[in-house]
Structure 1
Amino acid sequence: MKLQIAQTEGWNVFTAYGEGYVSVNAIRHTRNLVVLPDRLIPDWTQSTFETLSVADFEFLATLDTEIILLGTGNQLRFPPPELMRPLMQARKGLEVMDIQAVCRTYNVLISEGRKVAASLIFS
């Protein structure tokens, strides 16, 4: 059986990442960002990881996705459970990772046709 990765042409994909930045379709971003296959939401929150609020997660719950990947900077950090309640109520999956892992996972999931969003916190 021959397997082929689905085409991602016309979709937002991560093309690079490094210390303090990611590139989406070869455009560099250094501030908090949500990446969806068909659009970008720059500065989706002004929060740092330590100041994330329920409102930040309420916004993520409104996105037309099945799963949200939360990139918590260069290290894996889990937000308090009470912040994730809006996603649970909206029946959205949440995976928490460092930003580099989010970039790789997001690209794989959209190539599979999944409805995914990558939300990145740079601080």
Structure 2
Amino acid sequence: MRMDRERDAAGPLVRGFGPAGFKVDAPDGAMGVYPALLLTATRADMWAPPPLDALDALALAPLLGDPIEFVLLGTGTDLRRPPRALIAALEARGVGIEAMDSRAAARAWGVLRAEDRRVAAALYPLEG
């Protein structure tokens, strides 16, 4: 799926997604495709996520360096609940977590960044 959106948000934006991954462009015009992805307001990074039931704060550490309201967690092709221990660890830091399937999370990322919300995202692959 391709998502057309004017560049009205700071930082990297997800421009589309499909079986190969998430198509992301950066403010400098660079474009990349990431099978799994970590997003902050300033960068997009390739991610090798653990199985969802083993996801912990350490796996999300690159997202937690800047003050954020919550982590947008894309759980792959289907919505799945994150581990309770992860939710508790993030809440102890004052950070929320919103889980949804990765397609919905990719779309929500652009909307939230356009609103200049302080969020980060971790997107599991859409295949495999």
After TM superposition, the score normalised by the length of structure 2 is 0.77
2:76 is aligned with 1:73: yes
- In structure 2, stretches of 5+ residues that fail to align are 1-5, 26-30
Taking structure 1 as reference, are residues 63 and 42 closer, same or farther at Cα in structure 2, changes over 3 Å only? Answer: farther
Q: What is the Cα-based RMSD across aligned positions, in Å?
A: 2.3
Partners of 1:13 and 1:37 within 8 A in 2: no
Taking structure 1 as reference, are residues 62 and 37 closer, same or farther at Cα in structure 2, changes over 3 Å only? Answer: closer
Return the alpha-carbon distance in structure 2 between the equivalents of residues 118 and 13 of structure 1. Answer: 11
Return the alpha-carbon distance in structure 2 between the equivalents of residues 120 and 63 of structure 1. Answer: 18
Provide the aligned length of Structure 1 versus Structure 2. Answer: 116
- Counterpart for residue 27 of structure 1: 32
Bigger fraction of residues in helix = 1
For 1:28, the aligned partner's letter is V
Taking structure 1 as reference, are residues 11 and 57 closer, same or farther at Cα in structure 2, changes over 3 Å only? Answer: closer
Deviation at 1:92, TM superposition (A): 0.9
Return the alpha-carbon distance in structure 1 between the equivalents of residues 77 and 57 of structure 2. Answer: 22
Deviation at 1:67, TM superposition (A): 1.5
Deviation at 1:64, TM superposition (A): 2.7
Deviation at 1:63, TM superposition (A): 4.1
- The C-alpha deviation readout for 1:23-65, integer Å capped at 9, x for no partner, is 11142111x321112112322x541223323532566444431
Taking structure 1 as reference, are residues 59 and 7 closer, same or farther at Cα in structure 2, changes over 3 Å only? Answer: closer
2:109 is aligned with 1:103: no
* Alignment map for 1:47-86 (pairs within 5 Å): 47-57=50-60, 60-86=63-89
Deviation at 1:87, TM superposition (A): 0.7
Partners of 1:71 and 1:97 within 8 A in 2: yes
* Alignment map for 1:36-55 (pairs within 5 Å): 36-43=40-47, 45-55=48-58
